[in-house]
Structure formats: structure tokens, C-alpha cells
Amino acid sequence: MYDKQELITVVARAARDIFTSFDYIEDEFEYVDIRLQLLNGSYEIHTGDSQYDTDRRGAWGYGSVNLHPDSEQTWDEIAIEIVEDTLADYEQQQKLVDSLNK
């Protein structure tokens, strides 16, 4: 099983890094997509346009980082939403696998 708090910390850090690496005015982006992939006991953080994600296996959670400097979102809020979505997808997949193995 995955450590929920560890995943929240990792995703929150990634969201903060995305925010600090883009210039809202110069880059002309309002949002940057961020995704969490759980697969075989490990995790990956994906950012940017999801059409470039070539590995669709595992459980996924999705969210966006608002790049506007006046955004009131917190990194933890973004991370919690993404992690909860991902873990729900993971649990649903596990139930499906369990039902097929019966």
C-alpha cells in the first residue's frame, strides 16, 4: 500500500516547483496540469499536456496548478485532491483484480 502522507508531500512539492518555474506573464500559461501515477509500488509525477503520457498503466490522479500570482490555492490542497483521486482509482482497480481472481 502507498503512504498517503508521503504522496501528499511529494505532490505538494512538485506543485510548488511548477509554480516557481513558470513566469505567468512571459510563459502565457494560466495553469499547468499535474498527474500522479501509481504503479507496482512506486509513483511518478507527470506534468504538462497529458497527451504526451505514453504509459497509461496503473492508477492516476489529476489536477492543475494555477500559475496566477494571486492564486489562493495551497500546495497541500492541490496535492490532497490529486492523491485522494489516485488512491480511489488504485482501490477500484484492486477490487476489480480481486473479483477477477475469485
Query: How far are the Cα atoms of 17, 43, 66, 76, 84 from residue 3, in angstroms, in the given order?
Result: 21, 11, 26, 15, 12
Q: How confident is the model at residue 24, as a pLDDT?
A: 61
Q: How far is residue 7's CA from residue 59's CA, in Å, rounded to a whole number?
A: 13
pLDDT in tens, 40-90: 899 999 988 888 888 889 999 999 998 887 888 899 999 999 999 999 999
Pull the grid cell for residue 15.
506543485
pLDDT in tens, 3-54: 999 999 999 999 999 888 876 666 577 888 999 999 989 999 998 888 888 8
pTM of the prediction?
A: 0.85
